[in-house]
């Protein structure tokens, strides 16, 4: 039996999990516009000078070596459903027997004006370096002013990403920056803005309250029930007519399926690819969708959360279904096994919820640390990350405070 040719668009958590699960049972090709996987859950630590940018990236070719998979740098521009091939922006045409759409998500502004122009996203390493550079530049401005001028950094979105970002910013400002120049650091305000009634809405209410209190204790101003109406330069306007100054606005309010999926001409439902319970794209049995871009629903009838564990489980699931389909075996329905949620707030502080079990504090923080190291691909990144974390923890310092974005050469 010849091996099926499986083309995977997207080398994130889902795409690489699928590739590795297929292994050498298929001829695998992964396409991505970056030659590396971005370890998104740790991106906020790059923004806040905790980790080296290179250490939250992992070469996709490195992940494909063992399975002898191919890689192509680029993005799809069209699909030929009849002849089963995808054309890339390099003009190369790749044939497939099975196509896996794993293109992930992009920041969404929910149509709120000014977000694209005045807020910084949190989806790419370049964006993370831009946030780091902006924060450090504002800090240097304050150091020069030596007066009572204040600067505000606002994080919009009270989910895990926003909470982790706000907490890490508070630690950066109150730790290393205060050691650098105390007067300036004391003039930086950090604001976390959530439209809903509480932070971390997917967690138990008691953990939401603990998180809010912990952040406030760290000096973060937490605004709940506060919907953003528009973002302007150095200012955020709220739905109730009030506003807050914000020199750096970080947008962690939400993501939506990558709109590039439209180029693949597949049915879309609510910004995601419409899939059957088997994760086959509706009407296209040889095309599959996984991860943030897949419109799979949970038991409650709602879309599954856009998180790495869903993508990885779906990637492994689809790999098995493709092998079954090749053998003409009946396909299964995907069921997400929710292993729980966690968010880190700061040093020794995190919240964890696994079904009915919930805990916080040092134990939760240790669990967070262990799991993120475990999921971090590649020994080098693991060693480098341990080294940086160990150093940061012992010295209360953050060594990667460099202004290193494209503006600055």
User: Hey, which residues are catalytic here?
Assistant: 164
Looking at 54, 95, 205, 277, which residue binds a second copy (CB under 8 A)?
54
Query: In 254-326, which ranges are continuous DSSP H helix?
Result: 308-326
Q: Report the residue from 15, 30, 45, 72 that binds a second copy according to the rule CB under 8 A.
A: 72
SS3 at position 40: helix
Instruction: Please state, in angstroms and rounded to a whole number, the distance separating the CA atoms of residues 208 and 33.
Output: 37
Q: How far is the CB of 105 from a second copy (least distance, A)?
A: 16
The site string for a second copy over 370-399 (x = CB under 8 A, - otherwise) reads --------xxxx-xx-xxx-xxx--x-x-x
Looking at the Cβ atoms of 58 and 334, the one nearer to a second copy is 58
Closest to a second copy by CB, 300 vs 406, is 406
- 194, two tokens: 């959530």
We find the least distance from the C-beta atom of residue 153 to a second copy, in angstroms, to be 17
Could you give the CA distance from residue 39 to residue 52 in angstroms, rounded to a whole number?
A: 12
Distance CA 240, CA 3 (A): 60
- Does residue 78 bind a second copy (CB under 8 A)? no
Using CB under 8 A as the binding rule, whether residue 265 contacts a second copy is answered as: no
Residue 175 tokens read as: 């730790």
* Min CB(268)–a second copy separation in Å: 24
C-alpha distances out from residue 13 to 19, 85, 95, 367, Å: 10, 23, 23, 20
Smallest gap from Cβ 129 to a second copy, in A, equals 9
Nearer to a second copy, 1 or 394 (CB): 394
18-37 binders of a second copy (CB under 8 A): 34-36
Q: How far is the CB of 142 from a second copy (least distance, A)?
A: 11
- How far apart CA 97 and CA 110 sit, in angstroms, is 36
Q: Kindly state whether residue 127 participates in binding a second copy, applying the rule CB under 8 A.
A: yes
Residue placing its CB nearer to a second copy in the complex, 97 or 397? 397
Closest contact distance (angstroms) between CB of 271 and a second copy is 21
Stretch that binds a second copy, among 103-111, 177-185, 311-319, 320-328 (CB under 8 A): 177-185
Distance, in Å, from the CA atom of 103 to the CA atom of 292, rounded to the nearest integer, reads 8
216: tokens are 């406030």
Enumerate residues 344-373 that contact a second copy by CB under 8 A: none
Measured between its terminal Cα atoms, the distance across the chain in Å is 54
Strand order in the sheet with 235-238: 228-232, 235-238, 243-245
How far is 126 from 95, CA to CA, in rounded Å? 32
**Cα distances (angstroms) measured from residue 355 to each of 201, 358, 359:** 14, 8, 11
Binding characters for a second copy, 132-161, by CB under 8 A (x = yes): ----xx--x--xx-----------------
Contact 315, 18 (CB under 8 A): yes
For a second copy, give the closer residue by CB, 254 or 384. Answer: 384
Contact present, 57 and 125 (Cβ < 8 Å): yes
Tell me which stretch binds a second copy (CB under 8 A): 119-127, 185-193, 221-229, 230-238. 119-127
CA 34 to mean position of chain CA atoms: 15
Residues found near a second copy in the complex (CB under 8 A)? 34-36, 52-55, 57-59, 61-62, 65, 70-73, 90, 92, 124-127, 136-137, 140, 143-144, 179-181, 378-381, 383-384, 386-388, 390-392, 395, 397, 399-406, 408-409
């Amino acid at each position: 039996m010849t091996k099926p040719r499986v083309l995977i668009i997207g080398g994130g958590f889902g795409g690489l999990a699928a590739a590795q699960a297929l292994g050498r049972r298929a001829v695998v090709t992964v396409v991505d516009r970056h030659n590396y996987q971005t370890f998104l859950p740790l991106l906020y630590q790059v923004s806040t000078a905790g980790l080296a940018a290179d250490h939250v990236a992992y070469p996709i070719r490195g992940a494909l070596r063992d399975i002898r998979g191919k890689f192509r740098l680029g993005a799809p521009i069209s699909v030929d459903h009849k002849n089963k091939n995808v054309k890339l922006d390099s003009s190369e045409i790749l044939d497939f027997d099975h196509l896996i759409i794993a293109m992930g998500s992009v920041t969404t502004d929910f149509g709120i004006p000014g977000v694209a122009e005045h807020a910084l996203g949190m989806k790419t390493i370049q964006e993370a370096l831009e946030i780091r550079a902006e924060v450090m530049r504002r800090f240097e401005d304050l150091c020069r002013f030596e007066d009572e001028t204040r600067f505000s950094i606002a994080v919009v979105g009270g989910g895990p990403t926003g909470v982790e970002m706000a907490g890490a910013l508070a630690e950066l400002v109150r730790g290393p920056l205060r050691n650098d120049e105390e007067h300036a650091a004391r003039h930086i305000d950090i604001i976390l803005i959530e439209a809903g009634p509480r932070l971390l809405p997917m967690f138990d209410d008691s953990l939401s309250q603990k998180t809010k209190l912990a952040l406030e204790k760290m000096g973060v101003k937490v605004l709940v029930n506060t919907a953003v109406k528009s973002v302007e330069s150095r200012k955020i306007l709220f739905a109730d007519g009030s506003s807050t100054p914000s020199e750096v606005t970080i947008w962690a309010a939400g993501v939506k399926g990558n709109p590039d999926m439209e180029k693949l001409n597949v049915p879309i439902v609510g910004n995601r690819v419409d899939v059957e319970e088997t994760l086959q794209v509706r009407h296209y049995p040889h095309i599959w969708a996984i991860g943030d871009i897949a419109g799979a629903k949970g038991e409650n009838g709602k879309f599954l959360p856009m998180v790495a564990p869903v993508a990885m489980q779906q990637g492994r699931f689809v790999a098995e279904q493709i092998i079954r389909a090749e053998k003409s075996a009946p396909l299964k329905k995907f069921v997400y096994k929710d292993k729980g949620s966690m968010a880190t707030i700061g040093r020794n502080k995190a919240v964890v919820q696994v079904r009915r079990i919930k805990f916080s504090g040092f134990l939760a923080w240790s669990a967070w640390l262990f799991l993120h190291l475990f999921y971090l691909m590649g020994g080098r990144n693991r060693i480098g990350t341990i080294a940086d974390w160990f150093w940061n923890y012992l010295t209360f310092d953050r060594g990667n405070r460099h202004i290193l974005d494209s503006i600055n050469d």
